[in-house]
Each structure stands twice: as structure tokens, then as C-alpha cells.
Structure 1
Amino acid sequence: MYKVLIVDDEPMIREGLRTIVDWESEGFEIVDTASNGKEGLEKFGQIQPDLTIVDIRMPGMTGLDLIERVRQENVSAHFLILSGYAEFDYAKRAIVSGVSGYLLKPVDEDELVDELRRVRELLEREREARSSRTEQEAALPKAQLVEELLFEDELLDEEQRGRLAEALGLSAPAYRVALLDAHGSAETESRQHAAFRQRLKEAFEESGEGVLFSAGSRIGLLIVRQNLVERPDALRAHLADTAGELEFHASCGPMVHDLSAIASSFREAERLLHARFFFENGTLIDAAAHEALFPAADRAESGDETEDGPQLGDKLYYALDIRSRDAVEKVLGELERAAMSRRMDENAIRGEYSRTLSLAIGKLSSGGSSAAELAQSYHSLLLSEVNQAQSYGALKQRVGTRLFELIDRFGGANKDTVLKQMIDFIRRNYSENLKLEVLAEMFGYNSGYLGKLFKNYTGEYFNAFVDKVRVEKAKELLAQGLKVHQVAANVGYSNADYFHSKFRKYVGTSPSAYRSEAHHEQQGGES
């Protein structure tokens, strides 16, 4: 029997429809009635009738309002509308919107029977089509059924998902989806990938432990065997045994207890696999492993740089320029902490390393010395390491190795040359934001102790020495005719007034007066 719901605000119409025809002989059963549109909508959700007979005009929610609300969730529902002669044009417009038919009041018995038989034929054809689809689905390979459940999830209603799950024929207390990304050389990857799929099929599908399916370029597994579902460590070991020497990353979503809900496990596995760059080969990434690497408490509130002082590219330049392995390691450590706290993805990590290295190597290469040429030759090598590394661990190791190699080729630093290197560094980088604390960190010294060594060696305190170097360079630039604010910026003073006071302190006159005097002397010399 097909279920019928009657919605009309007139009690006589509701009761009259119950008795006007032999519903059972026509294959229908009136299961309930409603006196208005709102009540009808509620009962439709409870009953899910095969046919709803609804008055087109009711106070509050009209019949058309009711139909539109139902259509949002159930596009295949069948409706017959009731209307008076005055509403006939209105009723015809409703039919265009997908209503199965209409009946004029007062309802004629023969017309109602004709409409019921027409609707019954529609319902029977739909039932046959569903039955045919079910038979076809049962004959489909399990992999295809899983893929429909996963990739058509948002398009399927609850009944369709349940039917696909039933067609799979898998019964277990819980399920879990795993995704695998296998790696190989460019020449052998497709062959190795095919061999890996075959081994997985034998290890999981043919033994009844799961279903293998395709997820783009990745291999998917619907896990059924309970010890593998409940214990990711056991699943990882099983995958490693199956992979042999082939490198792979894998992820798994959470357990679900209904086959029709496996799409949620798949989506989480897909999200976790995006972090594969940060895990070593052979790792199975689940929620716990991901959270251990990226703890929520460490998440940065902002991606902005809050450190007061040189950016990481500048720091790396300092570390390379003074030939300090320890300093390079410290900068790379800072770079890693910044990346992890901001939860950068793979592309962002590669970009951050590339920018930092390019800034440092660019500054090292700005001169015309042999060291500058050597630094420039390493630029493409370093960027190649960043772009080709298969994991974050490999990226760190390769970049560090290249930077240490560069330092060795420069000629490493030792304690006997530290002060000479500092002085040379200051003379070449007077325009930078030089701080004793930063240089002490680069050289691996306590800043107070290094300051005393510097004072004993040069006779000047660090800041005074930097100021004198800057003022000497400023005198050269002023003599060339540059404006005072331009000179201040060029020698490392962002505040022109501060530069003015420093210049007067060490030269005894103002920058503008010095420039005028230098210009006058040049003119006198030319005459």
C-alpha cells in the first residue's frame, strides 16, 4: 500500500476524501490528515507519505508554501492539489512547478480515481527503477560502491547511502578509512605503484581485511578488520610489511560505526595526509600524531613577525658572514619554530625557506669578492634542495649541509679571528641595525663578555665604534652633495635628528655645515 497524507483546513473535505473512494482497492492507504500547512509539514516529515493531497489555499502556510518546503529536502515527493474554480489558473502554475496533478472542489469520485491510478503508475515505475538500481549496485565491484559512498556523499540522501552500504555486504562493529601516498623515482614510480596496489589487494582485500579503492593519485583502504580499525599502530605495521622497500606516507580518519558514514572518516584522512611533508616515510598519520607535531597550545595567534631585531634572512646572513656553524644552526632552529607555531603547509614552508635563503645569499653576493662569487654559486643549489626535498626532515638536513659546506669553503671562524671579523663586519654592514647582542649570539659569546673583549681590542665601546664608522661614511656622502636625510638613511640612522646629534658629537659641526664647507673646498680646489 502507498501511504497518503491529506492536508486541508476544512474538516468536511478531510472526512469526505476518506469515504469518497475505496482507497485500498486502488493501492493506497490514508495514514493521517492535517488541518493546516504547518501541521502538514510536520506530519510529512514523520510519515514520509508516497502521496500528499493538499489544499492550495489555507490560512498561514499555503499548499504551495508546503510543497516548496518539502521540495527542499525531497525532490521526488508526489502531490495532488485541491482548488476551487477561482483558483484554477493558480493551480495550473503549481503543476508547472512539479506537482503531480490537481483536483477541483467539490472533488468528483471518478476524477479522484483517475488521478490515483496515474500517480500509482508513477510510483510503481519508480519502485521498479529503484529495484533495478539496487540489483545493479549489488553487482558492482566493492571498490566502486565505496567510491560512490565517498565521492557522491553530499549528493546522496540517507536512503541512497544506506542502500549502497547494504550492497557492499560488509558487516563490522566499526570502520576506518586510510589513504596512502607511495613514492618512487620518476622512472619507476608507476610500476612500483602498480605493484604496491597489487600487494595491498592481496594483503587486505583478498584476506577480508578491507576494500581497496582509488582516491585520485592516492590509494584508499576501507578497513574492516577490527584490530586494524582500533589500533593505528597495528595498521601502520601491516602497511609497512606490505610496502617492503617502497617509501610511502599514510593517514587514517577516525572510526565510524556505520558504513554510510565512512565519508567523514575519508575527509579527515585526506586532511591529515596534507601534513605528510612533516612526517618521515612509513608514518601513519592519525589525529594523535598530527596533534603531537602541531600542538594546539603552540599555535601562533598571528603570522606577523613580532621579534624586535633583524629578520631571519638578515640573521642567516650575519651567521654566514662570520663563518659560524653554531649561529647557522640557531637561525635554522628559529625558522623551524616559526614554521611549526604558524602551522605552515608544505608550500608555505618551501616559500619561507626560499625567501630566507635568497635574502641571506643575496647580501653575501652583493660585493665583488671571491667569497661573494662563491655565495652566489650556492644560491641555485640551496633553492634546488628546498624544492626537491620529499620531506621536511630532508629539507632541513640538505639545507644545513649546504650551508655548512659554504662556511667551510669560506674558511671557518676561530676565537683568534672573531674580533677582526666583527670589525670587518661592522665596516661592511654599518647601514644595518647592528646590535652587540645579535652578534654575540651569532659568534656564540655572552654579550657582556664580548663587549669587554671588543673594548680592550679597539679602545672603543661597541656602539661608539659603530657610530664612528657611520659618521666617517656620512662625511664621504655629504662631501658628494647628498642631502642630510638621505645620508642619515644610508648610514643606518632612521631618525635624522638623532643622526644630527651623533654627527655633531664626533665632528664638532652639523651635517649641513659640513656639507657646505666640503662643497666650498671643492670649488676652491677646482678654481
Structure 2
Amino acid sequence: MAMYKVMIADDEPLFRYYMRSKLDWSGHGFTICCEAANGREALEEAKQYLPDLALIDISMPYMNGLELAEKLKVNVPGLLIVFVTGHNEFEYAQRAVRLGVHDYLLKPFDQREFDSMMGKVKETLRLRGGFIPSYREAEGNEASLRNNVEQAAQEVFALFNEVSTPSGQGTLPVRHEFHPGTHETLLMALKMRDHEAAMDEIGRTIALFRLQHTGDRFAFTVLMGYVSLCLSHAGEIGMNPESLWKPTASPEQRLREMSSWEEIEDWIAGLYHKVIEYRPDARPSKSYNLFMAAKDYIHRNYSDPELTVDQVASGMYVDSSYLRKVFRKEGAIAVLDYITYTRMKQAKELLAEGNVKLAEIAEKVGYADPNYFSKSFKKHYGMPPSEFEQREIRIRQTGK
């Protein structure tokens, strides 16, 4: 059986050596096909070897990871990209995920974290099914590769055009204001087992589609992206993704069968609900209980602008370094990032209510400076608070 191919791009020779020789690639069905010490070299290597997966450092000479990722999306169709990054670059990694990068891995990481990430990657490649083999068969043949890409795109668009609007007239909308932070928010909701946040984001996206009245090829891709994200996380936590839908139909086929927006929303929301509610162990561990208690503490204190990791740890009667480890283990997230996530989520809810001054919202969610709050909101959601509020008004006008 052919193995999936991996490219490693990092300007640190010792780290490339560690990635190449100390991690179990073959056990996951992968093999390293090429390495690069900078972004420019990585782009050329990727064009030549056409890897299935690229692990990329964000800070590289000549061309940084974000620039490289954009070029790879164009030059190597179907490539999955994972950023390997340090804590000081975490915000850039979050931006990359919003731009379509598959995942990120925080340095330093161990074999367990590596295995978890590779499980998600392999599941995503598996769910792509028929296109990946034809992609590999086309290696070195530009015309054949282009034909395979176009054929796959046509199949997706054909599936998409068979999904009717609730009125039965036309197809899914051509233009919509897709929320750039939704992918990250949904991933966070899955990791944090935040059912409310997941349902809110799914409902918002469907509501945005309702605003339009003409056909769109993008909606099917967006919705299948949500499904793929959910199934990948299900595989990561040990849940059998095939238990989430009919064994006789693929997720793509299931979505094609939908005849209304309500049915689409209910199905996708149902998938997320099942995954969020899944518990692999009957008895929660001490680590998990501490994680949940710390989350609750943050929810009760996020409005305090002085809230810190040390304060949360003190409230839990544990050392701050231990609390950080627990959050990495149970939620794959830094404590400070979860504090920001909670504040942004609450800010979004306040903006959705309307008629609330920006300064008042900023104060309620723990920001003393409204301007800094606006910048943080835009960084997190990809749009300023004012634009988000106007969009919510349009959504309410649809009768959602």
C-alpha cells in the first residue's frame, strides 16, 4: 500500500533531525519525501515531490510560513498544512487555521501529541477518498493532475447544486458573508465541549446563507468543511466517525440528500452534539475535573481585566505550571488563550443583542481599553465589532 508523503520545512537543523528520526511516521502510514530550511526552498521541494502533508515552521528566512502556506495552496492542490510553532507565535498559528491551514502543533511536543495530530490528518485524507489516489497517480504529469483537480471540483459543485433551498427554488446562495473565524471557533467548541458555541456558529452560517437568493458553489465546500472538522475531531478522541452517519452513505452523499436549510442545520448540529457529548471514559480523571473547574472559574471571572493564569491557578489551589499542563492535555490550548476565547464569545453574544455601546461591551468582557478590545475582536473573528453587529441585524431580519 502506498504511503502518504510528508514535507518538513524548518530552519532549525536539530529540529528537522528530531522530526525525521525520532518520530514514528511509518506507523501512521506516512513517509518523509523532502525537507527544506527556508520558505523559498520548501516551495520548490513541494512542487517537485507533491507531498500530501507539509509540516511548516512559521518563522523561516526568505519566505515565512504564512506566505508559504498561501503559495502551497495554489501550487500543490490537495496539500494539508500543519504549522509547528512556539507559544510566542500562537496567534499567527490561529490566523493560519482561519486561512485554511489544517492544524497547528505547539513546540515542544511529545509523541502523544504528535500521534493525536497525525490521527486527525490521516482521517482527513481518508475522508477525501477517491481523489487522493488519483492525485498520486498524476504525479509528474501536469495535464493529468490538472484534469483530476478539475474533475474533483466538478463533482463537488455537482453535489452542491443538487442541494435545494428551503423554498425549492434555485440552489444554495452564491454570495454570503462567511465568518472567517468560524473554523477556529468550531474547533475550539469541540475541544472545550462547548455545545452552545458550536450550535451558535452552525446556526449563524446557515442564517448567512439564507440572506442570499441565488446559487453558490462555495456553500457546499463550507458545509463539508464543518463536517470534516467534526469527524476529524471524533477520530482524535477515539470515536468511530462511521457511527455518526448511515454506514450505507458517505457524508457527502448524506448532505446531497438534504432538501432544506433546516434539515442541513439539524444534521450538522446533530453531528457536533454527538461528538461533544462523547465520553470515552465513564469516570472522569482528576485532570479532567480540574480542567472543568478552571473553565468554570474563568467563566465567572472573565470580566476582571486583571485576570491571569496565576489567579486562576490560585483559585484552583494548584501551581500555575501544573494548570498549564492540564489545559494542554485536556483541551490542547493555553490558559490565556481560553480566557481570550471566553471573552470573545461573550462579546459576540452582547453584540448580537444590539444597542449596546462598544465601551460598555469592552468593560463587561474584561477590556479596559475599547480600542484594544476592537483590535482583539477583529484578530479573533476577522471583522471589527461594528461589522459583526450589522451582520447580526441582517440575520435577525431573515426571521432566524
TM range (shorter): 0.3 to 0.5
When Rg is computed on C-alpha atoms for both structures, the one with the higher figure is 1
* TM-score normalized with structure 1 length: 0.25
* TM-score normalized with structure 2 length: 0.33
